[in-house]
Structure 1
Amino acid sequence: MPQGIDPIAFRNACGAFATGVTIITTRLADRDHGMTANAFMSISLDPPLIAVSIAKTAKMLALIEGSGRFAVSVLASGTEDIAMHFAGRPNPDIGAPLRDLDGLPVARRASAVFATHVDKAVDAGDHVIFLGRVSALETSADAQPLTFHRGRFGKLHEETPPLLDPAWMLEGNHW
């Protein structure tokens, strides 16, 4: 960290940005592995690429490197139990929170799920950013997202109509 930038202050400042909550999963040697994360983003429409950021100290790093694949489940509102389960607070009453998509485990209760093959790994300080080429996806139009802001889970307060027609973005109309 550059001199003068306090790591705790930096983390708290980044926490001011509201995000969705995801479960990043992989399958290695016929075992499913998962972790809760909010460092996820779309990268490209053509080819379809997404990115996740994994700490170099996380067990998930070696698992994704070993499998060459990962999945992302964008959690829906009301799935705090799943988020906490994969954040290192196992809940024996959670049942079977995962199902299969294209050979990878994904959350049963998600607003969107993506299965990928690792396209590239980028060293980024104390993290590695994995770019994943999407091989399969599913969405739930009715699901509202689980959100995370300043260390707390939340949800959208009301449903509002979309501001932009998605076709507008596909036509090359970008900000």
Structure 2
Amino acid sequence: MDAIPPAVRVLGETSVRADQDAYKQLATLAARGVAVVSAVQGRWDVAATVTDFLSVSYDPPTMVVSLFGLSRIAEAVTSSGRFAVSLLAHDQRGLADRLGAPGAPLVGLLDQVPHSRREPLAPVVIDSALAWFELRVVATQDAATHVLVVGEVVATCATARWSARPLVRWRSEYQ
């Protein structure tokens, strides 16, 4: 059994204010799927790796993604009003790392990544993803350093790889 990290306090009946380091360590215990969020900004395709997204409703189909508020992808999604979420497979860690790196170049970002779009000016989807969702922004909400983007799903597709294992992040590592 792993020892409890030193920044984490085991609490009894009393409550204390959450410690940032302890929160970060404990939050990584939730396994999360890995996806690529993409949008079009001007004439550029913008994309970034995310792990904080969820299905909110089936009627109407709705998802939420959490994006760092000062990021290029947050600006692209909110200004364009459209975005896509491509769910990554277990063997796409390299793509997740590349698109998740801070300061990734805008020009040529997706040149080596097979992708397509449903129609002109639609956000790109990763061809080798497990599945993808195209969404229309219906609401945004600032939350600390992030913006929560609520999107109504306007198109979906399961790819030929839909039965492959998903890429999952747990304890700050890909699994």
TM-score exceeds 0.5? yes
Distance 1:132 1:4 in 2: 33
Distance 1:114 1:101 in 2: 11
Name the structure 1 match of 2:4: none
Runs of 5+ consecutive residues of structure 2 not aligned to the other structure? 1-15
Deviation at 1:19, TM superposition (A): 0.9
1:101 equivalent in alignment to 2:118:
yes
Name the structure 2 match of 1:24: 37
1:8 equivalent in alignment to 2:21:
yes
1:98, 1:108 within 8 Å by CA — same for their partners in 2?
A: yes
Could you tell me the percent identity over the aligned residues?
A: 28
Deviation at 1:26, TM superposition (A): 0.4
Higher normalized strand content (fraction of residues): 1
Q: TM-score, normalised by structure 2?
A: 0.79
Name the structure 2 match of 1:51: 64
Q: TM-score, normalised by structure 1?
A: 0.79
Counterpart selection for 2:135 from 95, 99, 116:
116
Distance 2:118 2:165 in 1: 21
The AA in structure 2 aligned to 1:149 is W
Deviation at 1:54, TM superposition (A): 1.0
The AA in structure 2 aligned to 1:14 is A
The AA in structure 2 aligned to 1:96 is V
1:146 equivalent in alignment to 2:149:
no
Runs of 5+ consecutive residues of structure 1 not aligned to the other structure? 155-175
Counterpart selection for 1:136 from 155, 158, 166:
155
Greater CA radius of gyration, 1 or 2?
A: 2
Distance 1:53 1:101 in 2: 24
Distance 1:59 1:30 in 2: 14
Deviation at 1:133, TM superposition (A): 0.7
Deviation at 1:77, TM superposition (A): 1.2
Distance 1:122 1:74 in 2: 23
Name the structure 2 match of 1:34: 47
1:110, 1:143 within 8 Å by CA — same for their partners in 2?
A: no
1:82, 1:97 within 8 Å by CA — same for their partners in 2?
A: no
- Give the match's secondary structure for 1:117: strand
Deviation at 1:148, TM superposition (A): 0.6
Aligned residues: 152
2:113, 2:126 within 8 Å by CA — same for their partners in 1?
A: no
